[in-house]
């Protein structure tokens, strides 16, 4: 005979425990692990931002002193900065792999 009570019945303790067991989701051993979150590549980000700033400055018509570009001074600065950034990024990757 169906129960026509307007209030639902309260579950007992064993019913609550069984519901918790059913709600627990355990990953299968054959499932792929969750992908690791990617970080920004700072070695590419810093020279990219420097290039954008230089391009916008040049397009805006700002006159930069010619001494910056003489004898490849600006190019050497960019190359040394990019090299240091690459070195630091590789050292951090190696440190993460070890731990």
- pLDDT for 45-94, tens place per residue? 777 888 888 888 888 888 877 777 788 777 777 788 878 888 888 888 88
| Dihedral angle computed from the Cα positions of residues 18, 21, 22 and 24, in that order, rounded to the nearest 10 degrees | 160
| Radius of gyration of the chain measured on its C-alpha atoms | 31
Q: How far is CA 6 from CA 82, 83, 96, in A?
A: 72, 74, 59
Q: What is the pLDDT of residues 28-47, one digit of tens each?
A: 788 788 788 877 777 777 77
- The Cα–Cα gap between 97 and 7 comes to 58
- The Cα–Cα gap between 54 and 48 comes to 10
For residue 6, name the pLDDT band (cuts at 50, 70, 90). confident
- pTM above 0.75? no
């Amino acid at each position: 005979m169906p129960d026509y009570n307007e209030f639902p019945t309260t579950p007992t303790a064993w019913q609550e425990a069984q519901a918790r067991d059913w709600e627990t989701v355990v990953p299968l051993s054959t499932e792929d692990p969750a992908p690791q979150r990617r970080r920004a590549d700072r070695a590419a980000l810093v020279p990219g931002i420097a290039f954008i700033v230089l391009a916008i400055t040049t397009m805006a018509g700002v006159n930069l002193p010619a001494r910056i570009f003489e004898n490849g001074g600006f190019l050497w600065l960019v190359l040394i900065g990019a090299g240091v950034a690459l070195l630091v990024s590789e050292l951090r990757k190696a440190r993460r792999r070890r731990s």
